[in-house]
Structure 1
Amino acid sequence: MSNVHSFQSKDAIREEACLWISRIDRGLSIEEKAEIRKWASTSSAHALELKLAAEFWDETSVLQELSSLFPLQFTESEPKDNYLPPALAIACSVVLIAFVFTFLPFKGSEKQFDEDKKVSSHYVYATSMGENRSFRLPDGSAAHLNTDSELSIDYKPDSRSLQLLRGEVHFDVAHDAKRPFSVEAGALSVTAIGTAFNIELGAEDIELLVTDGRVLVTEQNIEITSTDVESLKAQPINNDNLIISSGEKANLTASRVKSADVETEKVTLAEVQKELAWQQGMLVFQGEQLSVVLEEVRRYNDINFDLADKTLGQIQVAGYFKAGDIEGLINTLESNFDIQHERTEPKRIKLSSANL
């Protein structure tokens, strides 16, 4: 018997179903089709919420895709139920809004970058705790900042220099052969090579996930020119360069970067979706210890957790839920793990076993 405890409330299943429908709407890859079949077959509740979400979305193409994926469960000839639970309507509406805003340019105080003149410009983008937000950068690139993050950009006629000051960000980089797109994080620099990638800046390390193309990782004092970037599209400049490609993840230290010193790992589509679930305001856990889960939850709010018994922190948890939903987390721990809570201070919660 597995010792990994899974929690997934009806609301969480509903949220995930809406996310799947939104992905169907923009088109599924072969890997995603396999993932949705696996998810829907996990339980009848998954299949039901998927069907209800599709009816709410009310797009013929979505229903047709579901009919092809699940010919025995989803048929276009079935009459629609005119009633949808309000919670489902809200959940799908939130997902739709999230996807729309992901691709909208940010309307703020910064000036529009003049691409023809390529004048110099400097902007700072930031999110507060519990907030994630998408920004359209002056060159057309997209930056999606996670909770409590800050990004500084400095654009010049021959370069695009950015600095992640804190937190986490995902980039979808606009092509510009004459201006390299380089991001400083800690003491490292990450240069895009036709790329989409994610950077999380921790206290002692940096996590880098590449979702499209490749990136070059160097120390900050190494200058990368547009000629270097073009040559890297074919092959690395020399053996000291660290190249990370699409579908790979690396945990880096800030002291030095040598390809021989860093281990990269291949990640599956499911793992990429888990890593980037924060973009939709969700957190996904796949067997992490409760202590790790609480540490991650802490990034999205200012609540501190105390464990009455350290062994509670060793419980392995799997699940999918909203970031920042403390009440939902507490209710889940109580109903699934017999863990009770006590609010010892306005911003501090003590967790203990109900069996003691």
Structure 2
Amino acid sequence: MTEQTRIHPHADSRDQAVKWIVRLHAGSVSEADSKELETWLAKDPLHRLEFEQASKMWAILDGTKALLHEEIDEAEHVWNRFSARQEPVVPRPRWSPAWLSAACAMAVLLVSTLWWAFMLPQSTEYRTAKGEQRQVTLADGSSVTLNTDTTMRVELSNTKRRIQLERGEAWFSVFHDEQRPFTVEVANGVVQDIGTEFIINRTAEYVDVSVMEGIVEVGLSDTSNRRPTGQPAVLRHGERVSYGRDGHMSPIGRFNQLTAGAWKDGQLIFQATPLQEVLREVSRYRTEDIRLLDQSLANIPVSGVFNIQDLSNFMQTLQDALPVRTTWVNSSLVIVERVAASTASR
């Protein structure tokens, strides 16, 4: 087979984006053209990404505008002198359709040549404070919902989509693109999407990956170079794994999707969950420190549905259902302690 020149899978979208930028800056866009542009942008999230990148590239090249005009003038002058030897020169407007087409071709060539020099992966950081949740729509069409106290860094390019979850929890709904893998780096692991929705929760001790829909691969890696250190686990709908900094990954198991994703709807659902774990989870959404004074209470099971934003109701429910008393020591500390059976029954 004869070797042919390789064309980047997104080259056509990129060229179209550059041509639209040239037309817009040439002032030759009609109302019908504007509607056509809107339709083109809405057709594919990649179109909007390429258009935004082309706009940035144009802004970079805009500083050379005067030089480009001088070169065009010189080229016209040389052409006119050459043409005068052959036949009379017919005057034509500076931005005639022919010149506009030539400018488009020139711009496409110039931008394609310089694209990789300027268009390094775009890096954007997203954060949420304690108690805050935020939904982000990425330029590729994927969406991410950040849970409380979460930090995420996003890098998008024409060849890859790289996410770094530095802390916290996030729900990923990924737009499928075979040409650009969607990977999430979390501590000493890498999660790669194969067309799905999944939740990643990063704590100080472990990373938990839960698949709400579709399939993902979860693999451990060397944090210095991100090279795989073993065979990845393939998770499907309703499956979960956890891994720690010690390089150990748990067996694949099932999980309750209702409870795992309830936070996205502003709720916390517990089903016979130990009190210590319940308090730890509620504390993630509060600026107050919730402290259990009596460790003998740690494993008392708690069940119920609670509003994330209503701490007062949560504390009152604990007092009504368990032999405990909750006390606000000050604006930043709440303590939970045992009360005598006779006191609790009063």
TM range (shorter): 0.5 to 0.7
Counterparts in 2 of 1:325-336, with a 5 A limit? 325-336=310-321
Q: Could you say which residue in structure 1 is the equivalent of 2:194? A: 193
Q: Could you say which residue in structure 2 is the equivalent of 1:114? A: 50
Q: Could you say which residue in structure 2 is the equivalent of 1:176? A: 177
Counterparts in 2 of 1:140-219, with a 5 A limit? 140-218=141-219, 219=221
**CA gap 1:262/1:311 in 2 versus in 1, 3 angstroms:** closer
Tell me the alpha carbon deviations over residues 128-166 of structure 1, each in whole angstroms, 9 at most, x when there is no partner: 100111110110001010000011011111111110011
**CA gap 1:126/1:171 in 2 versus in 1, 3 angstroms:** same
Query: Could you list the runs of 5+ residues in structure 2 that have no partner in the other structure?
Result: 1-47, 55-118
What is the one-letter code of the residue matched to 1:174?
F
Counterparts in 2 of 1:1-356, with a 5 A limit? 113-114=49-50, 120-218=121-219, 219=221, 221=225, 240-256=231-247, 261-267=249-255, 271-355=256-340
Q: Could you say which residue in structure 2 is the equivalent of 1:49? A: none
Percentage identity across aligned positions? 29
What is the one-letter code of the residue matched to 2:215?
R
**CA gap 1:330/1:246 in 2 versus in 1, 3 angstroms:** same
1:176 Cα shift? 0.9
Bigger Rg, which one:
2
**CA gap 1:212/1:223 in 2 versus in 1, 3 angstroms:** farther
TM-score when normalising by structure 2: 0.60
CA distance in 2, matches of 1:116, 1:125: 19
1:200 Cα shift? 0.5
What is the one-letter code of the residue matched to 2:322?
F
Once superposed, which parts of structure 1, at least 4 consecutive aligned residues long, lie more than 4 Å away?
115-119
1:116 Cα shift? 9.0
Query: Could you list the runs of 5+ residues in structure 1 that have no partner in the other structure?
Result: 1-111, 225-238
CA distance in 2, matches of 1:133, 1:184: 20
Tell me the alpha carbon deviations over residues 212-250 of structure 1, each in whole angstroms, 9 at most, x when there is no partner: 2211223154569xxxxxxxxxxxxxx823212221001
**CA gap 1:299/1:213 in 2 versus in 1, 3 angstroms:** same
Number of aligned positions between the proteins:
226
CA distance in 1, matches of 2:143, 2:227: 24
Instruction: Assess if the C-alpha contact under 8 Å between 1:197 and 1:211 holds in 2.
Output: yes
Q: Which moved further from structure 2: 116-125 or 303-312?
A: 116-125
Instruction: Assess if the C-alpha contact under 8 Å between 1:274 and 1:284 holds in 2.
Output: yes
CA distance in 1, matches of 2:51, 2:146: 24
